[in-house]
Structure 1
Amino acid sequence: MKKRELTASQEQCLRNQVISPDQPGTVLHDFHTLLDYVGPEGVEAQGKYNLLPIKLIGELDRRLSRPLHLELELKRPQIRSHPYLQGLNLLLRASGLTCIEGTGTKARLVVDPEMMVQWEQLNPTEQYFNLLEAWLRFGRSEMVGEKSGIWNELLPKCLQAWQVLPEEGRRFDLKKPQEIYVSGVGREFFLLALMDLFGLVEVERPTRPITPWGPAAVRHVPFGDAIFTLMTTRLDSIWGEVISELEHDDQEDEDEELEDQEEGALEQPKFGAWQPIFQPYFPSWQKNLTLPEREPREGTFVFRVSLGKVWRLIAMPADHTLDDLVAVILRSVKFDNDHLHEFSYRNRLGASVSVHHPAMDEPPYTDEVSIGTLPVEPGQTMELTYDFGDNWRFTVKLERIETPDAKLKAPRILESHGKAPEQYQSWDD
């Protein structure tokens, strides 16, 4: 992406900007509205991605600064039907201010009271920039039920949308709303909605109902141009090839990048990485949210491992690794352990984490992740993909965590139900 230089007038624009619930956009006002509504009692977390429930779209919409009134035009609205609520839903998860309690039909999205105490101690400027990092550093499309596409990260998408937007803005044909496409973000209009909520662009809304919803026009605003320009001039070293597509020739840089990748998957994200960039213009940004570190748990982890209708109940000591779990799973179905594998699960924020076979290039590795450190609660599942040729997919559900068993020195198969399929297809007639 082509860089732009931050001008003196843009620097002055940043210094003059007051951050309040309604400036430079309404993100703080609307985010507080959803936080208050969800509260510590929570609301139903719907579907595979634990989203805000469809039945609340109309009520939540009416509480926003600028409602879309979608209930008047959609018979069966979905969260993606309301890009502003979808974007705010992403902030609820990516900020860590909410978490999921329970599983399945009993899952609820609740406000984390300890995180809420931290949040209330931040001033509006700190809240704004912590949410900006939650969105553009930690946010992933999958958190709100969308596919990631080429980029897992959201910053490159939004930067591209801003950079290719003509100086005079762009207007869309509302007669064909299903064909509205915004370069960079595509039809992920929740990203455009967030750019609007943060005051980084101006989104003109249709004057009449259209289905599906789409923007009537998008225009530049001085504050957004200054913020994005500052990002393009200062964030290469933080985002590396994700933004600049630069290759690191220096071995030390490569080692640091690998270390960062591993830490990013296994540790909680840390707010404040962009503070040195923005603090010169917003000196009141002093404090940040701190996500709770997950302490390793002790005990015996009992997993129900399913392959189609076949399932096994397996007990694992907490100090054993995912690599050990793979070995006992394969032994339980009489598979050879001579192919690559990968575990995937969702972290606290709702983003996917992949843990790889030790022979693969990208960390973290299954022989380094202990069972007791997994961010999986009873009732939640992981997926094990084994042999990327035949693509065996095991569902690994944590049934329960029992008290430590001193006699359990190694993984144990507790129950076996169903005959496992043959690992290799027979070519005999």
Structure 2
Amino acid sequence: MTLIKLPPEALKTIKNQQFSSDKPGSVVKDFNTFLNRVIEKPVPLSKGKRQPTQKWTSVLNEELTVPGRPELDRPLTIHYPSILGLYLLVRASGLGRIFIAGNNKFQLIINQSLLEQWQKLTPTEQYFSLLDAWLTRASSEIIGQELHGRDHRPLGCTGVNFLRQSAFNEEPASSICLEALPTSFGTYNIALLKLFGLADVQWLSTTQIAHLQFTPLGVSLLNAFEKSIDVQGLMLPSGCEDILYEDDGMLQVVRQWRDDVNQMLHPPAVPHHESYIIKASMYAYKCQRTLIVPTNATLDQLAMAILGAFSFSNQFLYCFLYEDCYGDNYEVADPQLKSEFTDCADTVSLKDAQILPGEQLRLLYNLQVVAQFCDSSPVC
């Protein structure tokens, strides 16, 4: 495994950069402002895209270092790109997770185990932990948005190609680039470029950019991760390893450049429980069943138990849909679909899925959602 090497000038830029709560950008300061709000009280989310509600967003906006000024009389959450970008970081870092608060109401709550790690990090370590979350895990799908390209992350979408030629440089972005970026790269990702101090961004409106120019730090860092970007939008060739996407990959890379980075956020161990109390609900029929399920039970066994509890016969194919603590979506299919899916319900257990109390696991049966499992509680 080869670590990332930088040209002398780029290495000097990164080594000499001062990192604090508001340098090189205000991302750490504004992120902690967002985080403190979540710690204080769960954040209400919309049912569709699961974004913070407009009322909550407008209040937080006034607390940011540079508040957004939407030109609309009744702006929506998507008209606050900085807050939407910070929300993406909260989810992709794992510090915030979605909780089902009854009657299909969604809330953003704090992940206490990761919060303890976060509070022990220095501003420099916090900065690179957020950069890691953004570049490697921040899929736009997490916040109900969509980008085109190899995937929905900033380095994998087609919009990144508008930001560079053969490499990232300090030349101002062209007018064509400025016009295409809001839809191809996402306004929230553009806002994060500024929050991270990677680019100077000036807005005409919440959906139009007047100016974008990378800083020396932005040029150095983004070119360092050139390997993670493919101009053609293709996957890396088989056998190629990209250290950035490995466990603690960012930590291994940044340690080469700075002596003051010793730790970053990493996934905590999931507590072991013998079984779970699962509330399975059919919201369309206002029907609910409560089951006690061993954690070593396969999802196939769980599916049969649920179908039996609701007096369904096992005549149709099914699949389970759920997301992990980082907001990534997973699909576990009926064992009869092994030829088409990698993960099948007879080989994946509840323990493997690592579902936490309050999270949601959906059973899709005969092309419709039969039950949603929310408010699962461990039985020790």
For residue 312 of structure 2, the aligned residue among 318, 328, 333 is: 333
Cα deviation, residue 204, structure 1: 1.3
Q: Distance in 1 between matches of 2:254 and 2:117?
A: 21
Q: Distance in 1 between matches of 2:175 and 2:291?
A: 57
For residue 200 of structure 1, the aligned residue among 198, 201, 205 is: 198
1:317 corresponds in structure 2 to 293
2:32 corresponds in structure 1 to 32
For residue 78 of structure 1, the aligned residue among 76, 89, 102 is: 76
Consecutive unaligned residues of structure 2, counting only runs of 5 or more, are: none
Structure showing greater radius of gyration is 1
Distance 1:154 1:103, change over 3 A: farther
Q: Aligned ranges for residues 160-179 of structure 1 at < 5 Å?
A: 160-164=161-165, 168-170=171-173, 172=175
Q: Distance in 2 between matches of 1:139 and 1:316?
A: 34
* AA at the equivalent of 1:216: A
* AA at the equivalent of 2:116: V
2:324 corresponds in structure 1 to 347
Q: Distance in 1 between matches of 2:47 and 2:23?
A: 34
Distance 1:372 1:7, change over 3 A: closer
Q: Aligned ranges for residues 5-44 of structure 1 at < 5 Å?
A: 6-44=6-44
1:214 corresponds in structure 2 to 208
Distance 1:44 1:385, change over 3 A: closer
* AA at the equivalent of 1:382: L
* AA at the equivalent of 1:117: E
Which secondary structure does the structure 2 equivalent of 1:32 belong to? helix
* AA at the equivalent of 1:137: T
Distance 1:81 1:273, change over 3 A: same
CA RMSD of aligned residues (A): 3.7
Q: Aligned ranges for residues 99-248 of structure 1 at < 5 Å?
A: 99-104=97-102, 107-147=106-146, 149-150=148-149, 151-157=151-157, 159-164=160-165, 168-170=171-173, 172=175, 180-182=179-181, 186=184, 188-206=186-204, 210=205, 212-233=206-227, 235=228, 245-248=235-238
In the alignment, is the contact (CA less than 8 A) between 1:307 and 1:393 conserved in 2?
Answer: no
Which secondary structure does the structure 2 equivalent of 1:126 belong to? helix
2:362 corresponds in structure 1 to 383
Q: Distance in 2 between matches of 1:8 and 1:154?
A: 26
Tell me the alpha carbon deviations over residues 307-356 of structure 1, each in whole angstroms, 9 at most, x when there is no partner. 9649674745323211123345566433435x5x4311122233322223
Q: Distance in 1 between matches of 2:44 and 2:68?
A: 22
Which secondary structure does the structure 2 equivalent of 1:189 belong to? helix
* AA at the equivalent of 1:88: L
In the alignment, is the contact (CA less than 8 A) between 1:159 and 1:228 conserved in 2?
Answer: no
Which secondary structure does the structure 2 equivalent of 1:170 belong to? coil
Which secondary structure does the structure 2 equivalent of 1:290 belong to? coil
Cα deviation, residue 81, structure 1: 1.0
Q: Distance in 1 between matches of 2:215 and 2:39?
A: 34
Q: Distance in 2 between matches of 1:65 and 1:291?
A: 29
Distance 1:367 1:242, change over 3 A: farther
1:291 corresponds in structure 2 to 267
In the alignment, is the contact (CA less than 8 A) between 2:321 and 2:362 conserved in 1?
Answer: yes
* AA at the equivalent of 1:195: L
In the alignment, is the contact (CA less than 8 A) between 1:377 and 1:398 conserved in 2?
Answer: no
How high is the sequence identity, in percent, across the aligned residues? 25
Q: Distance in 2 between matches of 1:116 and 1:315?
A: 31
Cα deviation, residue 64, structure 1: 1.4
Cα deviation, residue 137, structure 1: 1.3
Which secondary structure does the structure 2 equivalent of 1:86 belong to? helix
* AA at the equivalent of 2:236: L
Cα deviation, residue 221, structure 1: 2.0
Q: Distance in 2 between matches of 1:47 and 1:171?
A: 38
* AA at the equivalent of 1:397: F
Q: Distance in 2 between matches of 1:82 and 1:284?
A: 33
Q: Distance in 2 between matches of 1:90 and 1:30?
A: 13
- TM, length-normalised to structure 1: 0.72
Q: Distance in 2 between matches of 1:399 and 1:86?
A: 26
Distance 1:44 1:313, change over 3 A: closer
Cα deviation, residue 133, structure 1: 0.9
For residue 346 of structure 2, the aligned residue among 359, 367, 371 is: 367
Q: Distance in 2 between matches of 1:295 and 1:241?
A: 42
In the alignment, is the contact (CA less than 8 A) between 2:280 and 2:306 conserved in 1?
Answer: no
Q: Distance in 2 between matches of 1:241 and 1:231?
A: 13
In the alignment, is the contact (CA less than 8 A) between 1:302 and 1:400 conserved in 2?
Answer: yes
Q: Distance in 1 between matches of 2:232 and 2:101?
A: 34
Tell me the alpha carbon deviations over residues 71-109 of structure 1, each in whole angstroms, 9 at most, x when there is no partner. xx3232222111100000111122222334442576443
Distance 1:203 1:300, change over 3 A: closer
Distance 1:294 1:377, change over 3 A: closer
* AA at the equivalent of 1:293: A
Cα deviation, residue 39, structure 1: 2.4
Tell me the alpha carbon deviations over residues 338-390 of structure 1, each in whole angstroms, 9 at most, x when there is no partner. x5x43111222333222234414554332232235545467654333456xxx
